[in-house]
């Protein structure tokens, strides 16, 4: 495994920050694609990518690519792959597929065809077949079809990399950890300015910010990666990479990190997650209503995921956004706020003009990630802002 063709998957909108992360760990031949980044590297880079990348959901290694325009061609080409190199008869496996092609309609059917090819390849050679386990396979393969190009890959992560290993308690709508990390990276936080999430829910943004600022690897609390089940797993190499990355962890936090939530139940959940992430020394969290504020606050870099108002009337959501804008204008001069929100219309009531607006997906929701800059001008300027 010297020069591997790798592909890190991510969410739409995070490709550029993921590419930067890949560059920082020494990835070569980086190509930004839709919801992912292609790159090349060796086994050490594959392990490092799995251990450190904050915005990658999984890392795939291409085994083979070929052209196919029907199921028969797909099955025949897949069956020729030397599967014995990747899968032992005693191991369980599963196949995932993503399809973007007029020749193939159903990703589920594509996955089944490749599964059949693997099983038949084993049966023809050794008269036995490996078992499928879709829930917790030892080895996971991925099929990606774009038009007539088929790429078959090994999934080196198996469980999605957003499963960092620190989350115990979730609130109603926790952010995916990779999305939270991506939002912080997109926001350009300098890791020195005080970080604030005033509606922190279960604390995902706070924990990701804390890990990032202290250079704690994304996978620090995780126990298991797919590649650990492979026949060629090099435990000594992985231990060496973990030790190298862990040696970079800073004992002192370079910035204060603060979270509020108005619901005590959420503050409790956040505290639990923060404890599990061993970050309680670095994050301050309080039960506080962001709208109940009466004095000017110190400058902060704010990144937050307020409610999307799924259970609110439209008018109430408009009012919520208006109140948020007012609090930021009046009490946070000199601060920057990045807000993810799915309600475009309600955000028009914010009363501040966003200086940036980036499209992001939060699960199935099409969102925008808004940047607001609250200038610390004169009182007259502040009054003018208030009147807008
Ligand atoms: C979408 S959730 C945040 C989820 C969070 N990012 C996570 O990963 O768990 C929004 C949070 O805002 C809180 N919230 C709503 N209004 C608030 C207010 N006025 N002040 C403080 N928190 C508020 C809610 O209690 C809820 O926990």
Q: How many angstroms separate the alpha carbon of residue 111 from the centre of ligand 1?
A: 39
Q: What's the pLDDT tens digit per position in 122-181?
A: 999 999 999 999 999 999 999 999 999 999 999 999 999 999 999 876 657 799 999 999
**H-helix or E-strand containing 60?**
strand 58-67
pLDDT of residue 376: 76
The CA distance from 23 to 16, in Å, is 11
Buried b (16+ CB within 10 A) or exposed e, 11-35: bebbbebbbebbeebebeebeeeeb
pLDDT of residue 33: 95
pLDDT of residue 323: 96
Q: What's the pLDDT tens digit per position in 194-219?
A: 999 999 999 999 999 999 999 999 99
pLDDT of residue 310: 72
**Rounded mean pLDDT, 111-127:** 96
**Rounded mean pLDDT, 75-93:** 97
Q: How many angstroms separate the alpha carbon of residue 311 from the centre of ligand 1?
A: 13
The CATH 3.30.2130.30 domain(s) of the chain lie at 4-155
State yes or no: pLDDT of 71 exceeds 70.
Answer: yes
**Rounded mean pLDDT, 269-285:** 96
Q: What share of the chain has pLDDT > 90, as a percent?
A: 89
Start-to-end C-alpha separation, the chain: 61
Domain 4-155 has CATH 3.30.2130.30: yes
**Residues forming beta bridges with residue 41, ordered by sequence position:** 4
Q: What's the pLDDT tens digit per position in 303-337?
A: 999 998 777 666 788 999 999 999 999 999 999 99
Q: What share of the chain has pLDDT > 70, as a percent?
A: 94
Q: How many angstroms separate the alpha carbon of residue 180 from the centre of ligand 1?
A: 14
The structure's pTM equals 0.94
Among candidates 383, 373, 376, which has minimal Cα distance to 350?
373
Residue with CA closest to ligand 1 atom 27: 201
Ligand 1 pocket by Cβ (under 6 Å): 171, 173-175, 198-202, 204-205, 260-263, 266, 289-291, 305-307
The CA distance from 297 to 376, in Å, is 12
Q: With bands split at pLDDT 50, 70 and 90, how would you rate the model's confidence at 380?
A: very low
Test site for ligand 1: of 259, 306, 363, most ligand atoms within 8 A of the Cβ = 306
Q: How many angstroms separate the alpha carbon of residue 334 from the centre of ligand 1?
A: 23
The CA distance from 214 to 211, in Å, is 5
Token pair listed for 90: 């005693």
Q: Using an 8 Å Cβ cutoff, are 370 and 341 in contact?
A: yes
Q: How many angstroms separate the alpha carbon of residue 250 from the centre of ligand 1?
A: 29
Topology adopted by domain 177-216+250-387: Rossmann fold (3.40.50)
Test site for ligand 1: of 181, 198, 266, 365, most ligand atoms within 8 A of the Cβ = 266
Of all atoms in ligand 1, which is nearest to the CA of residue 171?
Answer: 9
Q: How many angstroms separate the alpha carbon of residue 275 from the centre of ligand 1?
A: 19
Q: How far is CA 146 from the centre of its chain?
A: 23
Helix and strand totals (H; E) in the chain = 11, 14
Of all atoms in ligand 1, which is nearest to the CA of residue 269?
Answer: 9
Of all atoms in ligand 1, which is nearest to the CA of residue 170?
Answer: 9
Q: How many angstroms separate the alpha carbon of residue 36 from the centre of ligand 1?
A: 29
Average pLDDT, the chain: 94
Q: Using an 8 Å Cβ cutoff, are 328 and 352 in contact?
A: yes
Q: What's the pLDDT tens digit per position in 237-260?
A: 999 999 999 999 999 999 999 999
Residue 243 makes CB contacts below 8 A (sequence gap 6+) with: none
pLDDT of residue 169: 64
State yes or no: pLDDT of 270 exceeds 50.
Answer: yes
Buried b (16+ CB within 10 A) or exposed e, 58-73: bbbbbbeebebeeeee
**Rounded mean pLDDT, 287-307:** 96
Q: How many angstroms separate the alpha carbon of residue 249 from the centre of ligand 1?
A: 30
Query: How deeply is 225 buried, as exposed, middle or buried, from its count of CB atoms within 10 A (0-12, 13-18, 19+)?
Result: buried
The CATH 3.40.50.150 domain(s) of the chain lie at 177-216+250-387
Residue 32 makes CB contacts below 8 A (sequence gap 6+) with: 15, 16, 19
State yes or no: pLDDT of 382 exceeds 60.
Answer: no
Of all atoms in ligand 1, which is nearest to the CA of residue 289?
Answer: 20
């Amino acid at each position: 495994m010297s020069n591997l063709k790798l592909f890190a998957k991510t969410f739409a909108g995070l490709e550029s920050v993921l590419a930067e992360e890949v560059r920082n760990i020494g990835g070569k031949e980086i190509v930004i694609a839709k919801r992912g980044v292609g790159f090349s590297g060796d086994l050490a880079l594959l392990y490092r990518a799995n251990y450190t990348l904050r915005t990658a959901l999984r890392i795939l290694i291409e085994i083979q690519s070929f052209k196919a325009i029907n199921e028969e061609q797909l099955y025949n080409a897949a069956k020729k792959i030397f599967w014995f190199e990747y899968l032992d008869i005693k191991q369980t496996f599963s196949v995932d597929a993503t399809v973007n092609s007029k020749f193939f309609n159903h990703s589920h059917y594509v996955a089944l065809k490749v599964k059949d090819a693997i099983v038949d390849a084993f049966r023809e050679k050794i008269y036995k077949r490996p078992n499928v386990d879709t829930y917790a396979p030892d080895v996971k393969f991925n099929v990606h079809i774009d038009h007539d190009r088929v790429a078959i890959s090994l999934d080196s992560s198996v469980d999605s990399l957003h499963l960092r290993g620190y989350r115990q308690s979730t609130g109603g709508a926790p952010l995916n950890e990779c999305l939270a990390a991506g939002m912080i990276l997109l926001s350009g936080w300098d890791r020195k300015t005080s970080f604030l999430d005033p509606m922190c829910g279960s604390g995902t943004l706070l924990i990701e910010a804390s890990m990032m600022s202290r250079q704690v690897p994304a996978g620090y609390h995780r126990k298991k990666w797919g590649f650990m089940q492979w026949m060629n797993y090099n435990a000594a190499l992985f231990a060496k990479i973990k030790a190298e990355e862990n040696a970079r962890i800073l004992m002192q936090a370079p910035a204060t990190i603060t979270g509020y939530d108005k619901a005590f139940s959420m503050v409790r959940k956040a505290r639990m997650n923060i404890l599990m992430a061993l970050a309680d020394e670095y994050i301050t969290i309080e039960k506080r209503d962001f709208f109940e504020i009466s004095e000017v606050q110190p400058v902060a870099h704010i990144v937050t995921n307020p409610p999307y108002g799924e259970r609110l009337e439209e008018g109430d959501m408009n009012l919520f956004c208006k109140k948020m804008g007012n609090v930021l204008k009046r009490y946070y001069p000199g601060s920057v706020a990045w807000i993810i929100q799915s309600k475009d219309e309600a955000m028009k009531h914010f009363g501040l003009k966003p200086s940036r607006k980036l499209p992001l997906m939060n699960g199935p929701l099409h969102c925008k990630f808004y940047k607001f800059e609250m200038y610390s001008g004169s009182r007259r300027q502040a009054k003018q802002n208030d009147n807008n």
